[in-house]
Structure 1
Amino acid sequence: MDDGYVLPVPLTGIVLSLLLACLFNILKRRQVKSKELEPRRDEVDHLEATLNALQDSTIAIRASKAGSATLKNLWRLNNPFVSDSPELQQAYRRALMKTFSKTDNNAWAAIARSAAVSLEPFLRHRYDNGTYTITANVKDISRHVALVAVLKGLFDIDHVPTDTLMYIGSEIHRLTVGKKQYDAGASRPDDLPQDLQRAADRLIDILRGVFSEAKESNELARTILCSVSGTPDHFNPLDLVIPAFEAPWRGVYYTLLAVLQPGLSKPDAVLALRDSAADRPPSPAALAIAYESLRLYPPIRRVRREQRVDIEAVQRDPQYWGPTADTFDPWRFLDGKGEINTTLIGPGSAWMPFAVGAMKCPSAGGYSARMIAVLAGEVLRQLFPGTDRPQWTMDGPEWDSAARTGQALRAGRDEYASVSVIASMPS
């Protein structure tokens, strides 16, 4: 009986070889196609790479970065920015979060009042040809009100003489700028110029006088300055003042520059801040302005961990913010109902001015944004008193054509130092 046709053995081997060759080619093509679909290492999503770098950062990595030695040697610091102690970091975080949670509407109103009183020496009033003007240097008033707010809000320190506050603010700025040229190599105190070190020591002594009562009466100062980082006899207020002051003052500064930048044609942002009362939670519009300022002009633009992390680049990337990424547009943070679009500032978003992960700033929960809104609002209330629509001009050689036409402002630490706002109103 015929059981069917059977291929000769040699021919069977040929057929099997052909089938195996075809199968190999198919698998190879699929493998190549799969590799083509995978992003190349240099094409990995910028946001994901940045988030991963920040998430993977540790306190030990931050303490070992270039510049930590200068902070230790120049400022005599012993805080989470220079120490790799997890216990010290957690103590700071717990104490600050407790302080932030106690800052209610009444406390914010008191901060605003202190800022308003302290501003008067910085405002130049003038009557000329039927017009009343108020002129102020934007950088000076931003730095000043931020320092007043830090001392009042965190330590309940008030009524410090104006000249003392001006000295503290200007010296912190001057020495911060001066130290940067030594960040890479000043690993020992002897590597720093003696005049720079003497100036820092003099500043610490002055701040100890300012904190002479607060170190005993204020819980935050007593816990951190006199227990965690120092002792009642050997404490350094800069351990808290530096991180609490440096970022907020620049946040206030660029918020004011940005909302004053358009001039007479767009006063909506000025009105939103001026008319948002300090004794109530900021309006969504006022918060949106703070969020946009922190997006376009983050106080900490770049950080170094195991690699360089460019926060500013992500927050200005059109891939995440659209074609107006380089434009100051606060209303992008509002939804159709005029409320904050929380997806733009939530976890995994391209908005990260306070970093992310374990190194995230304790003030990220809303304290810093409200401080910016409250202080910028108080400055604008002093510049534009009453309810009239504001009118102003900006003056100074650094206020160039790019700034006057609404282009993105330069974001360096010393930019626009000579620029003043001139608020005008009929007398």
Structure 2
Amino acid sequence: MACLLRLPPTIPAGAVLHLPTLRPQQGRVRADVAYTHPVPRSTGGGHTIALGVDWGLNTLLSAGVVRLHGDGRITARGAGGMFRAAGVLAKQHRLRRLSERLHCKADHYRSLIAGNEQHPLAARHAVLREECDRVGARRSSLNDALARAASRWAVDQAIAAGASVIYVEDLRSMEAGGMGRTMNTRLSQQVRGQIVDRLRHMAGESGIAVVTVPARDTSRHCPRCLTPLRHRAAPDRLTAPGWKWAICPACSWQGDRDQGAWQRIASRGLTHQGRTITSRASGTMAIRAVVDTLEAGATITPAARRPSRLDRSKTGATRRRTTRPAPRRRRTPSPAGPPGPAGQRPEGHAHTDRKPLPRAAHRHQDVTTISTPTARRHRPRGAALGAGFHLHAHATPPWWELAREPDTPSGPGSFC
């Protein structure tokens, strides 16, 4: 029999396909096709751009890129990013509490049954065992999805920055003892091991090496001068004790605790990359120990500020600005009026989307309402259609204009 399979676009064009595995699922036949394709070989040394990854509690992952220059300086590129998974972690905690209650109740039923299959609680115990398996499967599926998303995010950050290595903290040096029952539970429920495994697999496809470094003092010392940091609750609460915000008393550096941690991890990995060891059994790369002489140079040099092209230095007092903006009608520019003695209307008193009405004959005149002039009737001298405050209102010349006209001499028989 011949079966035609449509390969997904995620399989490279030059991949070598292997014998598929057929399995029925929901009335259909699924084919699991394995393939192999060549990938670039990753090395443990010779790196200049690295991505440092720090493990957090609420943010899960904090990562950033650093660069090693030819003169030995290490600079950070940007402020880094964070992978927040608070909603998924909250769902994990709810499923964990539900699983603990179900297992506790199932163990109580098992002690009451005491191996008697005819006991009335045997059926309830079987139902509880099925529910425990179902909740466990949901937790495993959620952990797989979270590990896949977190590792994909970290690899994408490295590819976008052009990094050739990813440095992560060694999980074996992270101890959860002495931090309280709640904190120990949160640390034990993290999917860090799965994230590291998937991170090695995804990064290997792009030729990016994944190296673990010791996590000692990465969040305790300043990334610029290696001075012990002072931790506070928040940047706006510098007097309240906490662990989220870090302040250096020596160089005045301050920032998020996780931000300083990934800078320390990346700089430590770049300075100790000559001591990278590759395991023969698993092929994983790691830096086992920290050398004091190399650790002294694992500092982040602050980037030099670029001078502004425009000179913004103050030469006088700052002009006082009103707190309330001008009315909307004042922002409209005045239309260009017709030339003449009538002049131009003040700004904001004329509409810009209408054709202006004809001006009056003279600007110095009083408004007098008379009848609309026609061709048959008399039209006062100096009147114009549309002058005044209405379309049918007209204005006659002022009395001083009329006084300038020569008087008509009186004839015989005149009373003047």
TM range (shorter): under 0.3
* Structure with greater strand share of residues: 2
TM-score of the superposition, structure 2-length normalised? 0.21
Task: Point out which structure has higher relative CO (alpha carbons under 8 A, 6+ apart).
Answer: 1
TM-score between the two structures when normalised by the length of structure 1? 0.20
